[in-house]
Amino acid sequence: MRKYVLAAALAAVVSSPASARDGIGYIGLDLGALFPSGTSVDGKITDVTTGDSASAAGFGTIHYRTGYEGALVAGYDFGMFRLEAEGAYKHAGLDRLQLSGPVVTAINDAGLDVGDGNLPIDDTNVRVLSGMVNGLVDFNFGSPGFGGFVGAGVGIADVRFSSGGEGSGDTKFAWQLLAGVRAPVSDNVDIGLKYKYFQTGNLTFSESDDFDGDVVNLQLSGKLRTHSVLASLVYNFAGRPAPYAPAQVAAPASPPPPATQTCPDGSVILATDACPPPPPPPPPPPAPKAERG
């Protein structure tokens, strides 16, 4: 029984009108907090002085501080489906590089003291410029204009790691998943809350560091993954459509009243019936008796 109830509820959501504004274009602004996941990297370390180098899969993990993201979107609402273009900027500071155990051992054995391999990263940040195309599916929550959406996007991301004006980066394919809610505040303006998961392809970048007087070059590769929680402000290029109302089914017409006739006695009967016969005439009064003389 429960599976039938769930199926009916799903059908009600899918068949309900979209919460966004059908058949119009819109622009929007997103702004919020960025939470990068730790980036697991493979690496190659080269001693600039001697030219010695070593490569390691599972070199370590880059950890980040909380950052921010801003995005501009422009799209068109086809009904239940929306298509939009997005340009976004992400920024976060780097916190530390945690080297893996084997790498820590190898570097310390080579005479470069990195302690436990937990290396602070100061004055370094990551910046991401991305251009994405998103496809979104809308559904409503019952009241007109208030609803949610889920979707995904693909595009290109340029990722730059910089420190003191110097840095390196890479440009790669990127994809993202989105979900959120929207509610109208006027005939043309919506506000909303959006969650975004973002991931790039495999990036390659390098950085030079000084370990106890020895300059080494680090070449690292890995994928950047982030989570964002964003507040949205959307302007729609047309007013709110009329609230949805189910079609009214006309009641069947009543049959016409039957034809009638009025009889001589004043009674009303069906036209197909015969009037009752008139009553017989009253009998004549009796003759008066003659008087005797």
Where residue 292 falls among pLDDT bands split at 50, 70, 90? low
Where residue 5 falls among pLDDT bands split at 50, 70, 90? very low
Average pLDDT over residues 162-178: 86
Summarize pLDDT for 214-244 with one digit per residue, the tens: 666 778 889 999 999 999 999 999 765 545 4
Of residues 181 and 97, more confidently modeled: 181
Q: What is the pLDDT of residue 135?
A: 97
What are the extents of the domains in the chain? Answer: 16-236
Single-letter residue type at 213:
G
Q: What is the pLDDT of residue 232?
A: 97
Summarize pLDDT for 139-152 with one digit per residue, the tens: 887 766 688 999 99
Summarize pLDDT for 55-107 with one digit per residue, the tens: 677 888 999 999 999 999 999 999 889 999 999 999 999 998 888 888 777 76
Percent of the chain having pLDDT more than 90? 42
In CATH, what number does 16-236 get?
2.40.160.20
Where residue 8 falls among pLDDT bands split at 50, 70, 90? very low
Q: What is the pLDDT of residue 242?
A: 45
